[in-house]
Structure 1
Amino acid sequence: MTIVAAADGSALGNPGPAGWAWYVDDDCWRAGGWPHGTNNMGELMAVLDLFNSTAHLPDEPLHILCDSQYVINSVTKWMPGWKRKGWKKSDGKPVLNLELLKEIDAALVGRKYTFEWVKGHAGHALNEAADDRARDAATAHQAKKAPNAGPGFPGALQAGSSQTGSAESPATTSSIVTQSESGRSSAAARPHSVVPAQTTLFPNDLEQPDLFSMLEDEADPAFSAPNQDALEIVAALERELLDPGVRADPLRVGELLHPDFEEIGASGRRWTRQEVLEMLNEEESATVELQVLSISQVDTSTALLSYRSVSPAGSALRSSLWQREDGQWRLRFHQGTPEN
């Protein structure tokens, strides 16, 4: 039998006041945050605290509902490779959110767990409950107030990194990942909310770049010389906009589109930001492959990306103009033309 919980994070500004939360039911949840953090930090902290809060139940597998593909991939796909490379990414740079990831890595020992990806802001009851509490924690920190930490998990000893996270420091279609490790703790087991464990593998077409960590890594307000890391961020953000799960999330799409965004379609029609958001709300997206043709720095805060998109409907040549303001990249203009 499996403990089922949703884990979520929130950041107002990303980075900005940040919160995290996990939720089983109204009598079993926990939340915390920091005055300044990122969405990824919140997502990771929620998962870490959930493992720590259930450490006294080593025989009860965890089934974690998570709308962050970054977190799922970090824990189930990328972390083993990062460890082999001395916690370095494929480009040799240090992994971001390192301390949280190391603590999660330690918390996994002896535990059985599965991750299930759920679409955020899509009416999933547990996900919405965790999201509400994470956002409330971030809002509390924005107002310089202590967040409601929640009742916690029955029988848990709230200490260590879990306690630190709550203090002043830094209808759904799902895809499922299964991970397990051998070994057991000597603590007494005590069941809570349970469902049968699931074992479907997480599909490759949902793999996501280390997106928000990349944004953290690129902290300069603008690049004064061509910066390959910044250009890679732009390409990663464009890929995120093509992801069906992201396109179905109007809040995330709204974060990525510039307030003055516009698009010129293949028919010559001009689309406004609001029209695009409304169209995506009704769209049934398919997986799209992005093949970068060129990417270049236009000025100190602008990048131009040209690429070929390939989907079941065919291929198209596309250009996107990205602008950076207040430390965040947003899509300012896009145009696409079907390819013969």
Structure 2
Amino acid sequence: MTIVAAADGSALGNPGPAGWAWYVDDSRWRAGGWPHGTNNQGELMAVLDLFRSTEHVPDEHLRILCDSQYVINCITKWMAGWKRKGWRKADGKPVLNVDLLKDIDAAIAGRDYSFEWVKGHAGHDLNEAADVRARAVAIAFQSGGAVPAGPGYPGSAAAAAELGATGADAVSGRRAVAHEDPDLFSSLLEGDFEPLTSSVRDQIITLEQELLRPDVRRDSSRVAVLLHPDFEEFGVSGRMWTRDAMLGAMGADIGPDPDMEVLDVALLDEATALMTYRTTGREGSALRSSLWRQTGGQWRLRFHQGTPEA
């Protein structure tokens, strides 16, 4: 049996609010995106999520219709050589979107697949269906609206999550909903800024706790909502993370959420809050600080640092 699916991406401004989608038919499709991304990232993410969503049927041939020569060439022509060169191009420069490409390289291992180029915006039914859904997500991030993530592929863990599985049952890309939780952000959206009332303090703590949850850390669309476009992190391991690198690492080995001990939450100015806390987990304890910025009526994590505790 052959699964025929179209994969597409969309970015308003390129870069800007971005969406991705793959589409088989009206009962089998998925979409997601980020507040800030490029069209190529959307195209790559659509292909990656398609492979992940069909990983439970590895013996079925996957025929991917794509209007991006960049994506097709990356995967079928260039990726093997880049990998041999340490993910660098012939001129020695780093490969763009390398984290997504590494995830795709892992996802396609052992899979039976082929790519077919189709002309975009030319009336191809599957391509148009994927394009409409990807663009709808980008528009949702731009306007603050919401779009369905789609039913997913039958039998996949992502589809099970959409039918009501708990976060503990979710896998990478579990939900691709392009909207904020209305209960979580409703009070923040009422005005430009909020004083650090106990309610806002609790919401910042809730957001920080959310980022520690394994199901959320496997959900690139949700993490994209929580991270500021200029997010940076100095991790416990000593590695520096950017927002793109963090999103590209979704699906890596993630342990259970650690225990959190809140030390303090302080308002530095009318739109900046600093939270300090201690985590204790399988790798020991660490002291952590997070800088949250309120932009567009929404709190997003701008900077995080973790230091192992002696």
**Category of TM-score, reference length = shorter chain:** 0.5 to 0.7
Q: What is residue 82 of structure 1 aligned with on the other side?
A: 82
Q: Are positions 1:27 and 2:27 aligned together? A: yes
Q: What is residue 130 of structure 1 aligned with on the other side?
A: 130
8 Å CA contact retained: 2:157, 2:171? no
For residues 68-79 of structure 1, the aligned pairs below 5 Å read 68-79=68-79
The alpha-carbon distance between structure 1 residues 160 and 88, as it changes in their structure 2 partners (threshold 3 A), is: farther
The one-character-per-residue Cα deviations of 1:273-299 (angstroms, maximum 9, x if unpaired) are xxxxxxxxxxxxxxxxxxxxxxxxxxx
Q: What is residue 113 of structure 2 aligned with on the other side?
A: 113
Q: CA RMSD in A?
A: 1.2
Distance 1:161 1:13 in 2: 27
The one-character-per-residue Cα deviations of 1:7-62 (angstroms, maximum 9, x if unpaired) are 00000000000000000000110000000000000000000000000000011110
For residues 288-299 of structure 1, the aligned pairs below 5 Å read none
8 Å CA contact retained: 1:64, 1:115? yes
Out of 208, 218, 221, the position equivalent to 1:166 is 221
Q: What is residue 187 of structure 2 aligned with on the other side?
A: none
Q: What is residue 327 of structure 1 aligned with on the other side?
A: none
Partner letter of residue 35 of structure 2?
P
8 Å CA contact retained: 2:62, 2:112? yes
Q: Which runs of 5+ in 2 are unaligned?
A: 159-169, 175-218, 226-310
Distance 1:101 1:161 in 2: 15
CA shift, 1:168, in A, is 4.5
8 Å CA contact retained: 1:18, 1:34? yes
CA shift, 1:160, in A, is 4.2
The alpha-carbon distance between structure 1 residues 125 and 165, as it changes in their structure 2 partners (threshold 3 A), is: farther
CA shift, 1:105, in A, is 0.3
Distance 1:62 1:152 in 2: 15
The one-character-per-residue Cα deviations of 1:255-290 (angstroms, maximum 9, x if unpaired) are xxxxxxxxxxxxxxxxxxxxxxxxxxxxxxxxxxxx
Distance 1:156 1:166 in 2: 18
Number of residue pairs the alignment of both structures matches: 170
8 Å CA contact retained: 1:31, 1:166? no
For residues 237-256 of structure 1, the aligned pairs below 5 Å read none
Distance 1:165 1:41 in 2: 12
CA shift, 1:157, in A, is 0.8
Aligned with 1:169: secondary structure? helix
The one-character-per-residue Cα deviations of 1:108-149 (angstroms, maximum 9, x if unpaired) are 011000000000000000000000000001001111234320
8 Å CA contact retained: 1:48, 1:162? no
Q: What is residue 16 of structure 2 aligned with on the other side?
A: 16
Distance 1:147 1:165 in 2: 16
CA shift, 1:165, in A, is 3.8
Distance 1:30 1:99 in 2: 21
Partner letter of residue 83 of structure 1?
K
Task: Give me the identity figure in percent.
Answer: 74
Distance 1:91 1:160 in 2: 37
TM-score w.r.t. structure 1 length?
A: 0.49
Partner letter of residue 135 of structure 2?
R
The one-character-per-residue Cα deviations of 1:55-102 (angstroms, maximum 9, x if unpaired) are 000111100000000000000000000000000011111111111100
Partner letter of residue 221 of structure 2?
S
Q: What is residue 218 of structure 1 aligned with on the other side?
A: none
Partner letter of residue 116 of structure 2?
E
Distance 1:130 1:119 in 2: 13
Distance 1:38 1:100 in 2: 12
For residues 230-309 of structure 1, the aligned pairs below 5 Å read none
Q: Are positions 1:5 and 2:5 aligned together? A: yes
Aligned with 1:6: secondary structure? strand
8 Å CA contact retained: 1:141, 1:147? no
CA shift, 1:161, in A, is 3.8
8 Å CA contact retained: 1:149, 1:166? no
Distance 2:103 2:171 in 1: 10
Partner letter of residue 84 of structure 1?
R
Distance 1:12 1:140 in 2: 11
Q: What is residue 100 of structure 2 aligned with on the other side?
A: 100
Aligned with 1:127: secondary structure? helix
Aligned with 1:166: secondary structure? helix
8 Å CA contact retained: 2:32, 2:137? yes
